[in-house]
A = this chain, B = another copy of it.
């Protein structure tokens, strides 16, 4: 129990330092100092600085894998699934900004094997988005286009959130997710068939049919 709390503290402190100064520039001594420990006694809680990075990165990767990836399988239309995936992704990057930032920017400092494992996981994750987007392009929900580029554009965009989002700002994570989903689904240009609350009701237009 004490061990678990210490472990949590260690993760928090290391995340904050890795995020602020970068993994490579953060020494074990600094982590120990932030915890009021001696460098040597820190090693009773972890095997190496890289293990600490791995534990943070791995946990965030697991969160993405277990909460976002299943949404790709459905149920629902590609649009509904993509919205759900955006919502779940935003919940992580806005809800755990510090850990998410370390996951996103410091994973490349892992040793070769762990780095390769994480690269494979990231590819698989991106593939879930690409598949849902491609499914929507096939069934005519989405305009034809580059599913791979769209998936990358969307994920890069969402992954920028930890850099600027403040939980005490005007938007909660749910509203933030809606703003991103609306932007990517409906685009910036006005005059479209998508729900535009300020406009009076419009005659329904058919969707999912292409001439």
Contact = CB atoms under 8 A, between A and B. Distances in A.
Interface stretch (A6-14, A40-48, A63-71, A183-191): A183-191
Interface in A152-211: 152-161, 163-164, 171, 176, 179-180, 182-194, 196, 198-200, 205-211
B188 A184 contact: yes
A142 interface: yes
How many copies altogether?
Answer: 2
A149 interface: yes
A2 interface: no
A186 B187 contact: yes
Given A24-B22, A24-B24, A156-B156, A188 B150 contact: yes
A190 B140 contact: yes
B153 A160 contact: yes
A33 interface: no
Contacts of A140: 190
Interface residues of A, number: 61
A152 B164 contact: yes
A180 B164 contact: no
B211 A199 contact: yes
Nearest to A193: B191
Interface in A91-139: 105, 108-109, 133, 136
Interface of A: 21-25, 79, 82, 105, 108-109, 133, 136, 140-146, 149-150, 152-161, 163-164, 171, 176, 179-180, 182-194, 196, 198-200, 205-211
The 8 nearest A-B residue pairs measured at CB = A156-B160, A187-B187, A24-B25, A157-B157, A24-B24, A186-B187, A142-B188, A153-B157
Given A143-B188, A187-B188, A190-B210, 16 more contacts: A79-B189, A141-B189, A141-B190, A143-B189, A143-B190, A143-B192, A143-B196, A146-B171, A149-B183, A150-B179, A153-B179, A156-B160, A184-B187, A187-B187, A189-B194, A192-B193
